[in-house]
């Protein structure tokens, strides 16, 4: 095992999504994109919808992660995600439809529209399409 490897765990409510050794992990936080190497300072941060890139010894892995938070401790990174998906689990057609629906809802400017929810839905669908592109 190389020296620059650390433990990465991605946990969702229904399963342990990913567990393994990586030399780098990149993901989106509410404050911006972040890349974590070994011996990062301890940090807890809130995840924004985006793509997680895990650099393993054999190559990189990508996954879509939609909400949750990350706990970074020197040699261990734990992502507690509410939703996480591998690219092959994403239905592109559904993501496109979700995007249209969210855009339509946002453009209607309905008084009792939950703007944040619609925006989150839009972001999710965009991330899903992004990772497949």
Binding site for another protein (CB under 8 A): 11-16, 29-31, 41-46, 67-69, 71, 73-74, 78, 80, 82-83
Q: Is 97 helix (H, G, I), strand (E, B) or coil?
A: helix
Nearer to another protein, 42 or 59 (CB): 42
Minimum distance, C-beta of residue 129 to another protein, in the bound complex (Å): 21
Strands (E), 57-98: 59-73, 76-85
Nearer to another protein, 31 or 58 (CB): 31
Nearer to another protein, 107 or 112 (CB): 112
* Phi and psi at residue 63, to the nearest 5°: -150, 155
Side-chain half-sphere of 81: how many Cα atoms within 13 Å? Answer: 29
Residues 98 and 106: beta-carbon distance below 8 Å: no
Nearer to another protein, 57 or 89 (CB): 89
Residue 56's alpha-carbon distances to 6, 11, 39, in angstroms, are: 10, 18, 16
């Amino acid at each position: 095992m190389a020296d620059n490897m650390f433990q990465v765990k991605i946990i969702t409510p229904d399963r342990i999504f990913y567990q393994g050794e990586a030399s780098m992990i990149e993901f989106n936080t509410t404050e911006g994109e972040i890349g974590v190497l070994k011996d990062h300072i301890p940090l807890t941060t809130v995840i924004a919808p985006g793509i997680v890139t895990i650099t393993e010894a054999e190559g990189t892995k990508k996954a879509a992660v939609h909400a949750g938070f990350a706990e970074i401790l020197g040699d261990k990174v734990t992502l507690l995600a509410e939703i996480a998906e591998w690219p092959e689990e994403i239905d592109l057609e559904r993501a496109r439809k979700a995007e249209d629906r969210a855009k339509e809802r946002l453009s209607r400017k309905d008084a009792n529209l939950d703007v944040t929810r619609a925006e989150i839905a839009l972001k999710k669908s965009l991330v899903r399409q992004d990772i497949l592109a």
